[in-house]
Amino acid sequence: MVFDWHYTASLLFDAAFWKAAWLVIELSAATWLIGIVAGFALALGKQSTLMPLRVACSGYIWLFRSLPLLVLLIFVYNLPQVLPWTGGLLSDPFWAGLLALSISEAAYIAEIHRGGLLSLHKGQLEAGKALGIRFVGLQRLIVLPQAFRVALPALINEYITIVKLTSLVSVISLAEILLVGERLYTQNFKVLETMLAVSFYYVLIVTVFGHGLKMLEKHLDVTRRTGATLDGAPAQAPHAEPAATRDRAARGGSAARALEAIGIRKRYGRHEVLKGIDLTVHAGEVVSIIGPSGSGKTSLIRTLNGLETLDDGEVRLHAKAFLWPPHAKHGKVPHAQYMRGILDIGMVFQSFNLFPHQTVLQNVTLAPRYHGRQNGASLDEAGMRLLAKVGMAAHAHKYPHQLSGGQQQRVAIARALAMQPSIVLFDEPTSALDPELVSEVLKVIEELAREGMTMIIVTHEINFAFRISDRIVFMESGKIVNDAPPHELAVLDKTSRIAGFLKDVHLA
């Protein structure tokens, strides 16, 4: 038997095959898109803290990854026999096939999404929460863009799998590529010639759409992008007058209480990291928190804006209730009041936590745009003013990965200031920086202190803390040991605990 090349070539122009190919494209694309949306919801549900939701999503994924697609196709197509009201839709092989494929693929794609979600650093979520972005906004603006980019190579591979799985829908008489080929070779018995043509159509679809999706992958990869530096914009942080030149008595002596921690306690398991902390910060004060590693400094500052829940005690903001333990007897702060408080407290993280998929300017303007404070050109102008304030206006259209650590931290400061907070918290803002980059960040913080910004700074930069602060808080073992102005701590008895901590520090 001679292979009929002429017949095979004629099938490449066959109208029935091209119609079937278009049907496969519609079916596979719709399944992929539905699977991406449903799979993301399932992945979020599987990681939920709500046990019923977590169990339900985990059970769905387990069941439909275990069930053969062929069995599911036949079951769905015959479902109208049990549920007659579904007959209008599921009697059509296309809709029955789409439903069965979507149900099955959502389970597989959920695990792909879960891998993308697990790759997301928790600092990204914390940065979003510190900006007052709610759950849906976090997923839309921060989580999904980053997780999708990580998951995209696997999702592209899954799309190719879906294209090939559409051949199984032929069992419910959908006229896709394989069924068209089967009908032909049962008439003329030219099996090899027909299946070669069938293979061509599948390969063509996978090649064209695979190439298109690879282009999408490259487009979403921000590490391939280059951001231009704006000519004429200041690139360095503005020179700050030493904070020590300001009148501490005039600023630190204000009677207005900006932030109060009252009897704060925090445990991680059996380990109590905060043991009844009382701290009051007045408007305009700069308070630095120092102490040995593990003393509870970071835990304290994270409880002040709700990134860590309280086990006991209370946080008051501008003399009003702000944070309580989740199960406090005296109720819960109204959500609107809580959100106003969150927006009034800026947060600068140790590891910057800039959003890598957004430019410098987009990072700064994200929160004001989300909260509807400003929009359009006026928002961008405000963002540029903030970037100029920290010496980063020239880099507005770059991405975080194109910046040095010091530059990233200055952008993080500008982002924290974008919502015009009355208080800014700094969690060891220079500890992740190389020594030569520390000074450019400290200059920006000194400038904020000179302007009268209320700040609480956790830092290991002892000389800086003594130079800039109205008060120094020394913590050890989850307690405040000393809380006094710098000049008082500097002359404490040499046998005191803080004197021992400072013995190797040469205060300027």
pLDDT of 390 strictly over 50: yes
pLDDT of 99 strictly over 60: yes
Mean per-residue pLDDT for 379-398? 94
Question: Tens digits of per-residue pLDDT, 39-93?
Answer: 999 999 999 989 999 999 999 999 999 999 999 999 999 999 999 998 889 999 9
| Separation of alpha carbons 170 and 417, rounded Å | 60
In CATH terms, are 5-220 and 243-501 the same topology? no
Q: Which residue has the higher pLDDT, 68 or 248?
A: 68
- Note the pLDDT of residue 334: 75
Per-domain residue ranges of the chain: 5-220, 243-501
Least-confidence region, from 250-259, 426-435, 450-459: 250-259
Residue at token pair 């003393």: 295
5-220: CATH architecture:
Orthogonal Bundle (1.10)
| CA-wise closest residue to 282 among 255, 321, 314 | 255
pLDDT of 440 strictly over 50: yes
pLDDT of 376 strictly over 90: no
Query: Would you place residue 255 in the very low, low, confident or very high pLDDT band (cuts 50, 70, 90)?
Result: low
- Note the pLDDT of residue 494: 66
- Note the pLDDT of residue 229: 65
| Separation of alpha carbons 123 and 347, rounded Å | 12
Mean per-residue pLDDT for 256-267? 93
Cβ–Cβ < 8 Å for 469, 284: no
- Note the pLDDT of residue 246: 47
Question: Tens digits of per-residue pLDDT, 159-213?
Answer: 999 999 999 999 998 989 999 999 999 898 889 999 999 999 999 999 999 999 9
CATH superfamily assigned to domain 243-501: P-loop containing nucleotide triphosphate hydrolases (3.40.50.300)
| Separation of alpha carbons 141 and 156, rounded Å | 22
Mean pLDDT of the chain: 89
Q: Give one DSSP letter per residue of 137-192, joined into a string.
A: HHIIIIIHHHHHHHHHHHHHHHHHHHHHHGGGGGGGT---HHHHHHHHHHHH--HH
| Separation of alpha carbons 233 and 237, rounded Å | 11
Residues in the chain: 508
| Separation of alpha carbons 92 and 124, rounded Å | 45
Mean per-residue pLDDT for 375-402? 93
Question: Tens digits of per-residue pLDDT, 208-242?
Answer: 999 999 999 888 888 777 666 665 555 444 444 44
Backbone angles phi, psi at 111, to 5 degrees: -70, -30
| Separation of alpha carbons 50 and 389, rounded Å | 43
- Note the pLDDT of residue 330: 58
| Separation of alpha carbons 446 and 143, rounded Å | 33
Hey, what's the torsion of the CAs at 63, 69, 75, 79, to 10 degrees? 90
Backbone angles phi, psi at 257, to 5 degrees: -90, 115
Query: Would you place residue 325 in the very low, low, confident or very high pLDDT band (cuts 50, 70, 90)?
Result: confident
Question: Tens digits of per-residue pLDDT, 288-302?
Answer: 999 988 899 999 999
- Note the pLDDT of residue 353: 94
- Note the pLDDT of residue 244: 44
Identify the DSSP state of 310: -
- For strand 454-458 and strand 271-282, is the pairing parallel, antiparallel, or unpaired? unpaired
3-state secondary structure of 285: coil
Query: Would you place residue 504 in the very low, low, confident or very high pLDDT band (cuts 50, 70, 90)?
Result: low
Backbone angles phi, psi at 425, to 5 degrees: -100, 135
Query: Would you place residue 507 in the very low, low, confident or very high pLDDT band (cuts 50, 70, 90)?
Result: low
CB neighbour class for 481 (10 Å; exposed up to 12, middle 13-18, buried from 19): middle
| Separation of alpha carbons 252 and 101, rounded Å | 66
Question: Tens digits of per-residue pLDDT, 135-149?
Answer: 999 999 999 999 999
pLDDT of 436 strictly over 80: no
Query: Would you place residue 252 in the very low, low, confident or very high pLDDT band (cuts 50, 70, 90)?
Result: very low
| Separation of alpha carbons 495 and 243, rounded Å | 29
Looking at the chain, the whole-number percentage of residues with pLDDT higher than 90 is 70
Least-confidence region, from 290-304, 308-322, 485-499: 485-499
Handedness of CA 379, 381, 384, 386 (dihedral sign): negative
Cβ–Cβ < 8 Å for 283, 422: yes
Least-confidence region, from 20-34, 61-75, 425-439: 425-439
- Note the pLDDT of residue 237: 46
pLDDT of 243 strictly over 50: no
Least-confidence region, from 355-369, 431-445, 473-487: 431-445
Mean per-residue pLDDT for 429-449? 88
Query: Would you place residue 105 in the very low, low, confident or very high pLDDT band (cuts 50, 70, 90)?
Result: very high
3-state secondary structure of 290: strand
Mean per-residue pLDDT for 361-387? 93
Mean per-residue pLDDT for 492-504? 71
pTM over 0.75: yes
Cβ–Cβ < 8 Å for 352, 433: no
Query: Would you place residue 489 in the very low, low, confident or very high pLDDT band (cuts 50, 70, 90)?
Result: confident
Residues 6+ apart with CB under 8 A from 469: 286, 287, 288, 457, 485, 486
- Note the pLDDT of residue 332: 65
Tell me the two tokens of residue 70. Answer: 């062929």
| CA-wise closest residue to 355 among 218, 210, 222 | 222
| Separation of alpha carbons 290 and 428, rounded Å | 10
pLDDT of 269 strictly over 70: yes
